[in-house]
Structures are given as C-alpha cells and as structure tokens.
Amino acid sequence: MPKLCANLTWLFTELPFLERFEAAKGAGFDAVEVLSPYDVNAQDIVKELAKHDLHMALINCPPPNYTGGDQGFAAVPGLEQRFRTDFKRALRYAQTLGAQHLHIMSGAAEGAEAKATFIENLRWAAAEAPDQSLTIEPINNDTIPGYFLNDFDLGREIVTLIDAPNLRLQFDTFHAAKITGDVLGTWAAMRDITAHVQVAQMPDRSEPDQGQIDYPAFFADLDTQGYQGWVAGEYKPRTTTLAGVGWAAKS
C-alpha cells in the first residue's frame, strides 16, 4: 500500500489553512505537502506538524512572486542571481519545516539558452544543498502555458546529465496523462529516477478514483516495484474533501 500524503493547497480548503493539518491526519494521511507555505509563519506550521504527527513531504521553490510574475524561473535566462537568492530563502523554509523534497519550478521559457540556464541553476542548487532532496516536475502546457519542463524525456535527460544524488523527478499522473496519454507506460520509464508522486484523475483533475486513469493498476505497480516515496493527492475535490477521500482507504 502506498504511503499517502495530502496536498493542503488543494485539499481541505473548506477550512482555514492551519486547521487542515488536523483534518488531514483525521482522514488517515501521515504526510502533507504545501505548494507555497511562505505567507504563513513557519513555526506555526511546525507546531501543527508536531501536534498531529505529520511529515512535511514537499514544498515548491521559488517563493511566490507577489507582483504577479511567473510561478517559477529556474530556466529563464537573465534571472540566475534572483534564482539563487530565492532558492536560499526557500531552502531555509524547507529546512525549518523538515520538508523532505524541495520542488524547483522551471518557469515559462524555451530554447537552448533556457535549457542551459535550467541545467546551470539545478547543478548549482544541488551543490548548494547537498543534504536536501530536490525535484523537478514535467508540467503540461495547458496547465502552465509555455512551461519549459513540459516533457518527461527532457526531465530524464536533465536529471541524468546533472547526475546529483539529491536531484530526482517528481511524477504527477495528471501531467503524465496530459503530456503522453500513457500514465502506466510513462511511470515504467521514469520510476527509477522518481522521488515523489502526485495523483489526480483525468480529465477534470479530481479524486484518483473513477475516470480515465487505472489507479488500482497504478497503485499495485507502485507496490510491486517497491516504491518507497510518498503518493500525494493533488486534486480538486468534486464536492468536499471528506466526501471524496475514500480513495485513500482503498489504495
């Protein structure tokens, strides 16, 4: 049975943020992830994690751009110094929370210069934080138009080229379905470099139960292959979170 994690940016949004931790534990989750926790006092989150015996599985990097800019820019030429400054801030936050993974977002960019920038930034980050697990995630261009890392083969190429023990892939089944149309086949090709998994159903990014993706087969494959990482529910509940959380008990 996979180790299940609740994405508190997407789930339990019926509740104030700091109350979602207790709700996640009550629903049977042993870990949580928060995409952008930076506007909350880190110590308040640490208290909730400890109180409910929860692990922080993952947060995103960089911190949000409150001026309305792109979510990430690790592949954007000319922003290398800003990336380093914001990475250090995100790293301090991740360390305070005990976040297992720090997801580095490429941002919207294209071409050879963007690829070189992404590789340079990732290589620097891996060396700067050797004890922090870092992930990169292929994201489809419908969800984030122009996102540089929009291909799983490109993700493998970059992870292999950098060859750092703390840099791995983040595998999101929704994005895999949108990018390749073959979740199980893509997983088979990427599982050896994957450190973290996120799940949602097609086509509406809802609970990972009935729909186009065969989740019983996917979860069974995770168990068969001995995947030891977290499997995070990163989806939009069809109604309330609790009404649709039964998939977790069946996984």
Residues 221, 228: Cα–Cα separation, whole Å: 12
* CATH code, 74: 3.20.20.150
Between CA 74 and CA 177 the distance in angstroms is 24
Q: Domain of 72?
A: 3-250
Give residue-wise pLDDT tens across range 197-233: 999 999 999 999 989 999 999 999 999 999 999 999 9
Model pLDDT for residues 25-38, shown as the tens digit of each residue = 999 999 999 999 99
Considering 33, 48, 207, 234, which one is annotated as catalytic? 234
* pLDDT tens track for 34-80: 999 999 999 999 999 999 999 999 999 988 765 556 779 999 999 99
Total of domains in the chain: 1
Q: Could you tell me if 241 and 23 are in contact, meaning their C-beta atoms sit under 8 angstroms apart?
A: yes
The rounded distance, in Å, linking the Cα atoms of 142 and 120 is: 26
CA 21, 227, 119, 137 torsion: positive or negative?
negative
Catalytic annotation on 234? yes
Q: Residues 6 or more apart from 105 whose CB is under 8 A from it?
A: 60, 61, 62, 71, 72, 73, 74, 137
- Can you give the pTM of this predicted structure? 0.96
Residues 14, 137, 157, 207: which is the catalytic one? 137
